[in-house]
Amino acid sequence: MANRNMEKMASIDAQLRQLAPAKVSEDDKLIEYDALLLDRFLDILQDLHGEDLKETVQEVYELSAEYEGKHDPKKLEELGNVITSLDAGDSIVVAKSFSHMLNLANLAEEVQIARRRRNKLKKGDFADENNATTESDIEETLKKLVFDLKKSPQEVFDALKNQTVDLVLTAHPTQSVRRSLLQKHARIRNCLSQLYAKDITPDDKQELDEALQREIQAAFRTDEIRRTPPTPQDEMRAGMSYFHETIWMGVPKFLRRVDTALKNIGINERVPYNAPLIQFSSWMGGDRDGNPRVTPEVTRDVCLLARMMAANLYYSQIEDLMFELSMWRCNDELRVRADELHRSSKKDEVAKHYIGVYHTLSLNLRDRILEKIPSNEPYRVVLGEVRDRLYQTRERSRHLLAHGYSDIPEEATFTNVEEFLEPLELCYRSLCACGDRAIADGSLLDFMRQVSTFGLSLVRLDIRQESDRHTDVMDAITKHLEIGSYQEWSEEKRQEWLLSELSGKRPLFGPDLPQTEEIRDVLDTFHVIAELPSDNFGAYIISMATSPSDVLAVELLQRECHIKHPLRVVPLFEKLADLEAAPAALARLFSVDWYRNRISGKQEVMIGYSDSGKDAGRFSAAWQLYKAQEELIKVAKKFGVKLTMFHGRGGTVGRGGGPTHLAILSQPPDTIHGSLRVTVQGEVIEQSFGEQHLCFRTLQRFTAATLEHGMHPPISPKPEWRTLMDQMAVIATEEYRSIVFKEPHFVEYFRRATPELEYGRMNIGSRPAKRRPSGGIETLRAIPWIFAWTQTRFHLPVWLGFGAAFKKVIEKDVRNLNMLQEMFNQWPFFRVTLDLVEMVFAKGDPGIAALNDRLLVSKDLWPFGDQLRNKYEETKKLLLQVAAHKEVLEGDPYLKQRLRLRDSYITTLNVFQAYTLKRIRDPNYNVKVRPRVSKESAEASKSADELVTLNPTSEYAPGLEDTLILTMKGIAAGMQNTG
């Protein structure tokens, strides 16, 4: 068997080495890492399922690799024949194996990228592996501003300490990997990194290798498929776990690095502990736009849960801080406070804080609670009081969450962050006054920075709701008051009535207001906001906002529901027409005197990348987003308002994704101005915060790029560039819409050629795939829209429109090609837009789309598929011409190498998916199943059978649904994007 195998085919390891480009640099160990992980996995696969199944995996891989070499469609057919001949259990095992191998390839990449980064830092070489810089090192940025751009160190320091980056974690359903698997992947990554450490001993190596095999097997043995959809609370817990694991300690660590970078440009001051450099917000449990599962009760739960988690994190650290601050010398201010607390704290008083749980505590902790802190340790006395109040704060939130009430009075807890910071500031001042600044700037400063960043609520929850839902409430109120139908009123009449009510004092409605379930849901959400502490909340975002009355209606509802500290109201502009009309809408809003007085010179506006892209295509959406920002800033300046732009970016290019550094530095001049809000969605949360080093780099990228954009803005486009962009946008929009919205067979083609209809089976989010159950493309959410095209590697929403625009303007005047090349070389926005589309072409393969057509699409639609693939090839050719590239990614050998390593795995899963969809959708499709492959042992055969039983309720033939979901997850891992 072994000899036949050796003669028949090369091992995957050898195939990898043939396929992959040669070493890209001296420190390139990617092939080595990948081969090691693969070798360990194949050994495990053989142990679990027998040698024949391992050989089947190798045979499938070889066919896929041969296809990648010549792109011969016959190889895909051969591959399909092998795949469809597998029985249900074997089919799941093989699909699971390729999905697992793609995840291992991603881990090898991550370790290689981290290794290269460390090597560059050691050498002081900050340039990243791409031609266009994708890194923002804070030290490099500060030195560049001072030494290259001749900014004064004080000027840089002032700008830095006054800027704010607010990262908003959202529950967008694009993280297809289960949390339990992500944790196992992190351990594999750590083992691999340590195995290649220079000072490793033979014993260490042996133990690490065993640990690596154990984790690879544990990941493979874990069910990849979520069997039930997550609840919004589950999503919130998953999001909050990143705070516990990386962000909590990552923020003070990052701010220390900022202090060091400042020292290196001559600033001998630290960033003030309360400087708002980094803030965190969340949409998890607050985003109810089209998600009926996010109820007022859910919002209340997630706020209390976050509050409890924050108090618990502080409580777990305060003992260490008390242990560290054992000094007796202090200033008079602290001495007076410590003496007061010492006199008033009797053992029974301290113990009463812990009544109800005292008997459950460890003996050691009981002793510490009842032990009176000596009066000659004043810092510990003061911090002991902080500790006790933190305990009460945590327990009160826990009680409210579990029972809806708590016996702990609110005054025994911390209710605002100023109250929490006051004793910490007192300790800090005292240490500095006594010559112990070095001690003050240790753990105490880190703790104060955490308090300033995370507050008592860990994150601030944004609320998002559709404008129509508020209109419905207003209509119910006006009808109840018998003054007419709000919905039928003109915008002028709506504004007039809203302003008269906002200026008056009378209550607008009482408990007798007739309420539908939808109206009650909106009003109850406002009541929850009124009930909970105001520091739980951030912004109230209105999607589909078009006019000033949309904003004023929310202001009136906040007042009517007795919200003491009203949330700032943020209109969200998403579709192309809304973006075009946004500046005029904002000007009308600022023309309302009442509103201008209410906002105190500050306004936030959100712009949506996903829906604008779905509405008009990536080219037109990107250009309209650029222009809308410029115009919105002009309007704000005219009215003397500081505008913060909130960027609703997804992870994929089709939804505004791409490298952070480039995204920020390609924004229009003056649009960030030291204040940036941006969403971090789905799989991007893991990519940004999954590890300590990733968290550090994320905070660094955002901070440094925001500073650089403010102090050294990118160039504005020349007038002739604008004219050309406007012309191309019209052509691109027309091309995109003529196919997506006007082509009568497009919806039928899309639904047959992609797994869009099966997307919901992945159970990766709590919200439905559509805003409304019925309807076509326009009601489909942007995530499943992008997801479907990413799965087939055709990426239509990203490139459609670019080719037609390039072709028309070049045909009109050949000199336009030179202008486009000038724009590509000189204008960051245009360069980044095209670079990202080029990267998508590198991940694409129209051959897979052709296979899907042949298997899944009716013959009468084949010419339409051919037409789209011709447009794909033409667009790619024109894009390379504009970029002056001979082939895709010629300037980025690292990315090219990484994609080539992944291609054969992804192709296998693409073919698996196409044939599985065929079997699911066409009951008459016959396949000849060969005998069970995994049969070397009774245990191996049983193991494959057990995989089929994990989904006993499937409506399809055994194994098909799980095989399909595994292919979707594997392709998402390989493309490193879901939706």
Binning the chain into helix, strand and coil, the percentages to the nearest 5 are 65, 5, 30
Q: Which of 19, 13, 173 is nearest to 101 (CA)?
A: 13
Counts of helices then strands in the chain (DSSP H, E): 43, 8
Whether the Cβ atoms of residue 788 and residue 861 lie closer than 8 Å to each other? no
Tokens of 677: 């809000």
Contacts 24+ apart (CB under 8 A), 146-149: 146/265, 146/266, 149/711, 149/712
Tokens of 729: 């946008």
Q: Which of 782, 735, 743 is nearest to 878 (CA)?
A: 735
Selecting among 29, 161, 470, 614, the annotated active-site residue is 614
Burial (0-12, 13-18, 19+ Cβ within 10 Å), 101: buried
Tokens of 52: 């024949």
Ranges of H-type helices in 712-757: 719-740, 746-753
Whether the Cβ atoms of residue 572 and residue 648 lie closer than 8 Å to each other? yes
Torsion angle of the four alpha carbons 192, 193, 194, 200, in this order, in degrees rounded to the nearest 10: 100
How far is residue 471 from each of residues 288, 462, 493, 588, measured CA to CA in Å?
Answer: 16, 20, 14, 19
User: Rounded CA gap, 288 and 299, in Å?
Assistant: 9
Burial (0-12, 13-18, 19+ Cβ within 10 Å), 399: middle
Which residues are CB-neighbours of 803 under 8 A, at least 6 positions away? 735, 871, 874, 875, 878, 879
User: Rounded CA gap, 523 and 733, in Å?
Assistant: 39
Q: Which of 951, 860, 960 is nearest to 919 (CA)?
A: 960
Q: How many CB atoms lie within 10 A of CB 181?
A: 18
Based on C-alpha coordinates, what's the Rg of the chain? 30
642 carries an active-site annotation: no
User: Rounded CA gap, 729 and 466, in Å?
Assistant: 28
Whether the Cβ atoms of residue 891 and residue 128 lie closer than 8 Å to each other? no
How many residues can be counted in the chain?
979
User: Rounded CA gap, 192 and 188, in Å?
Assistant: 6
Whether the Cβ atoms of residue 275 and residue 674 lie closer than 8 Å to each other? no
709 carries an active-site annotation: no
Exposure letters 624-634 (e unless 16+ CB within 10 A, then b): bbbbbbbbbbe
440 secondary structure, DSSP code: I
The dihedral sign for the CA sequence 130, 793, 898, 207: positive
Selecting among 49, 75, 96, 172, the annotated active-site residue is 172
| 829 alpha-carbon distance from chain centroid | 22
β-pairing verdict for 278-282 and 568-573: unpaired
Burial (0-12, 13-18, 19+ Cβ within 10 Å), 893: middle
User: Rounded CA gap, 151 and 153, in Å?
Assistant: 6
Torsion angle of the four alpha carbons 671, 676, 681, 685, in this order, in degrees rounded to the nearest 10: 130
Catalytic residues: 172, 614
